[in-house]
Amino acid sequence: MKLVAIIDASVKLPELEDLTLYRSAASIPFAGRYRLIDFTLSNIVNSGISSVGVFPSYPFVSLMDHIGRGKSWDLDRRKDGLFFLPVSTKDSAQMSVGGFAALEEHMIFFEKSRQEYVVITNCFTVSQLDYEDMLESHIESGADITEAVSDGKSLRSYMLKKSLLIEFLRNYRQDQVFSVEDCVRRKKNGYEYGTYEYKGYFAIIDSIDSYFKASMELLEPEKRKSLFLPNRPIYTKVKDEPPTRYMKGSSVKHTLVANGSTIRGTVTDSIVSRAVVIRENTKVDHCIIMQKCTIEENCDLAYVIADKNVYIEAGTVLKGTKEEPIVLRKGERILKEEVG
Amino acid sequence: MNLKNKVVAMLLAGGQGSRLKSLTYNIAKPAIPFGGKYRIIDFPLSNCVNSEIHTVGVLTQYQPHMLHRYIGLGTPWDLDRRNGGVTMLTPYAEMDGIKWYNGTANAIYQNLTYLIEQDPEYVLILSGDHIYKMDYQKMLEFHKSHKADATISVIEVPWNEASRFGIMNTDAEMNITEFAEKPKKPESNLASMGVYIFNWQKLKKYLTIDNDIENSSHDFGKDIIPLMLEANEKLVAYPFKGYWKDVGTVESLWEANMDLLNPHSGLNLHDPGWRIFSSNRQLPPQVITETGELQEVFVNEGCIIEGKVEKSIIFQEVRIAQGATLYECVVMDSVVINSGAKLARTIIPPDLVIPENFEIGDPEGDIILLTQEIIDDWKGSAKV
């Protein structure tokens, strides 16, 4: 494979703040048992790429814990494999993909890699993008930089020769271009720009609204089938959870559930992550319940996003709306009196 | 672990389990799927790791491929280690020919070289046929405090069933006085669980003696234990309290699966303090559709449930169509159940496709192990 992949996980997504207080956007849980970066990493691996550099943003402990040496993606290799490339400046995060200042700090990674081409991508676009196919199109078109697009929207993934990237990294200060995306957007003179039209599932997760919408869309069979392709599986760090228990008196409809949960209540149109406990007489409707949440008896929840480890006291009523779901932050304890 | 107290576990996983019929035509009994995502062997392996025993020899003989591939380097159980870890021990060829394992004791005897290399203080003998959660360290402490040469774990069984088991007769201090294999008139209801701890030097001695006895069946229960009792070695019974089940028959395999659904059975897989580890597939979450109905059911990942399921265990990647009904079933991985099918008290082995309107089993009847032949016969008769 002639391609090395860069995942720029340092792009700032201010509208996702509630979910990124303790983690980078790359490790936001999605679809019950995944983190956002799983989709990008899996696409990379499913495209036959075996060398990946990840540029994380602070706080990245959660991301590091999740990807480790890349074992779950078969990227723990003697040759090539996964490289975690943090940068020295804490506020390296910026608004566009492929920031040169960050990449420059790891110039040696590019100089040492054997691959001729680089794809610079992000982890807030969930798709089944095939980088191998994109590379073919890139080479055929003769363009210097190719951008992946779909439905008139940019997927913010860019492909170019490694030698050109190194050239950018050497000259960006004097040229006043600050990222690959910046360069493409401004169509900087002297280069040919191409586009690669991707057809297939995609969702850009850059706000609570788009996060909620994309999550709910997974309940539609057609959408789900176009994201979970049997021959291009999505890999993640697997936990040893037992199967989920649907207890006597429970009712679960039109819902995605991960392993290790225990459900005694009524759940409709929702995404339930692993090791969640939903107790008797509790209603959960149009909610995203992340891992290890506990919802006690007699609660009534609608349009709620509960981040990891949220505890909801018995009898709590929480009603968000489709347009404005209520977000409960990681580890929050919701007491009945407080929401009154 | 202190090297002076080193324990090596020897896990006997060569059993054919012929009473499990078609389930073991192609795989050894310890590889049989259980509980929605596990294989039987996950239980003793996880028990070892949870008991901080990190050197495990797995002895295989019958249909070993599946088990070898499944266990691999032992990664899911954290047994991929530089020191110790898991070692697959199959019968091998020597100068004077290939020697198949002939009896449980003989299987260990043939791997004395492995044990000599490991040079443990204690050897823990396990079998790959049982569903249970057990802290072997507690048994080892018992073994040490009783200054025993061998300790055999026992469990109380109902008196009327005692004649189905290997029974240990003991004195008041739990010293074993006699081993009775399936006694017609049992004197005790303490059944051997097939879990033994031996002082390594004693084990070596008696395996070697037994090997030279011509008419020996080379079995731990029938030969080694009586041999040691005769020589006045100190053998004690360790009374285990907790869930334990030999899943040697279709009925008992079904029962053990159903026990998972009973909160009072003592078999709890949702205990984070004693996790059962297993090799995990990478599958999307399970989907329960608008028409899916689940009551008292275990479901693993990758399933799509559109039908009605009650009191059942559903393994990964199972599809249950709208209009299908299941009651007290064990549905193994990748099974497809088509619309209108109605199954009760049935174990459905992996990959079977249940045709539309197929009906089998009685909610109060016997346990059925479904096979492709049964389905083909049904199809044949339906055409007439």
* B50 CA: distance to closest CA in chain A (Å): 14
Say yes or no to pLDDT of B230 above 90: yes
CA distance A124 to A37: 8
Closest CA to B153 of B163, B143, B165, B164: B143
Kindly state the tokens that stand for B177: 């006085």
Task: Judge: B270–A244 Cβ closer than 8 Å, yes or no.
Answer: no
* β-strand partners of B308: B293, B325
User: Above 70 in pLDDT, residue B3?
Assistant: no
Q: A224 to chain B: which residues are within 8 Å by CB?
A: 284, 287
Q: What is the pLDDT of residue B94?
A: 83
pLDDT tens across B43-98, in order?
999 999 999 999 999 999 988 998 999 999 999 999 999 888 999 999 988 888 88
- Tokens 């009904």 belong to residue: B325
Note the pLDDT of residue B16.
Answer: 81
d(CA B37, CA B333): 8
Are the C-beta atoms of residues A334 and A328 closer than 8 Å to each other?
A: yes
pLDDT higher at A23 or B307: B307
- Rg (C-alpha) for chain A, rounded Å, is 21
| B141-174: pLDDT as tens digits | 999 999 999 999 999 999 999 998 999 999 999 9
| Gap between the Cα atoms of A188 and A177, Å rounded | 8
What ranges make up the beta strands (E) of A198-268? 202-204, 244-246, 251-253, 255-257, 262-263, 266-268
How far apart, in whole angstroms, are the C-alpha atoms of residue B77 and residue B335? Answer: 27
Q: How far is B149 from chain A (nearest CA, A)?
A: 37
Q: What is the pLDDT of residues B313-325, one digit of tens each?
A: 999 999 999 999 9
Predicted TM-score (pTM) of this structure: 0.93
Average pLDDT, chain B: 94
User: Which residues on chain B are in Cβ contact (under 8 Å) with A251?
Assistant: 293
Q: How far is B195 from chain A (nearest CA, A)?
A: 25
Instruction: Please identify which residue in the block is written with the tokens 């008041």.
Output: B172
For position A7, what pLDDT does the model report?
A: 97
> What pLDDT does A90 receive?
65
Distance, CA of B252 to CA of B16 (rounded, Å): 16
Closest CA to B156 of B181, B191, B187: B191
pLDDT tens per residue across span A34-64:
999 999 999 999 999 999 999 998 888 889 9
- Sign of CA pseudo-dihedral B136, B141, B146, B148: positive
List the single best residue of A225, A245, A254 to mutate versus B (max B Cβ within 10 A).
A245
Residue A210 identity (one-letter amino acid): S
DSSP H/E element including A127? strand A125-127
**From the DSSP assignment, how many helices (H) and strands (E) are in chain B?**
9, 28
Task: With H, G, I as helix, E, B as strand and everything else as coil, classify residue A105.
Answer: helix
Give B247-306 pLDDT, tens digit per residue: 989 999 999 999 999 999 999 999 989 999 998 888 999 999 999 999 999 999 999 999
Nearest-angstrom CA–CA distance, A124 and A131: 16
In chain A, how many H helices and how many E strands? 10, 27
What is the mean pLDDT of the segment spanning B108-118? 95
Nearest CA in chain B to A238: B280
Tally of CB atoms within 10 A around A104: 16
Q: Shortest CB distance from B300 goes to which of A233, A236, A243?
A: A243
Alpha helices in A142-220 (DSSP H): 162-175, 180-185, 208-217
Residues sharing a CB contact under 8 Å with residue A125, sequence separation 6 or more, in sequence order: A39, A40, A155, A156, A157, A202, A203, A204, A205
Q: What percent of chain B has pLDDT over 70?
A: 98
Q: What is the pLDDT along chain A (340 residues), one digit of tens a residue?
A: 899 999 999 998 999 999 998 888 999 999 999 999 999 999 999 999 999 999 998 888 889 999 999 999 999 998 899 999 998 876 666 889 999 999 999 999 999 999 999 999 999 999 999 999 999 999 999 999 999 999 999 999 999 999 999 999 999 999 999 999 999 999 988 999 999 999 999 999 999 999 999 999 999 999 999 999 999 999 999 888 999 999 999 999 999 999 999 999 999 999 999 999 999 999 999 999 999 999 999 999 999 999 999 999 999 999 999 999 999 999 999 998 777 5
Closest-CA distance of chain B to residue A72, Å = 9
**Segment B335-361, tens digit of pLDDT:** 999 999 999 999 999 999 999 999 999
The single-letter DSSP state of residue A17 is G
Structure tokens, B181: 């294999």
Closest alpha carbon within chain B to A235: B282
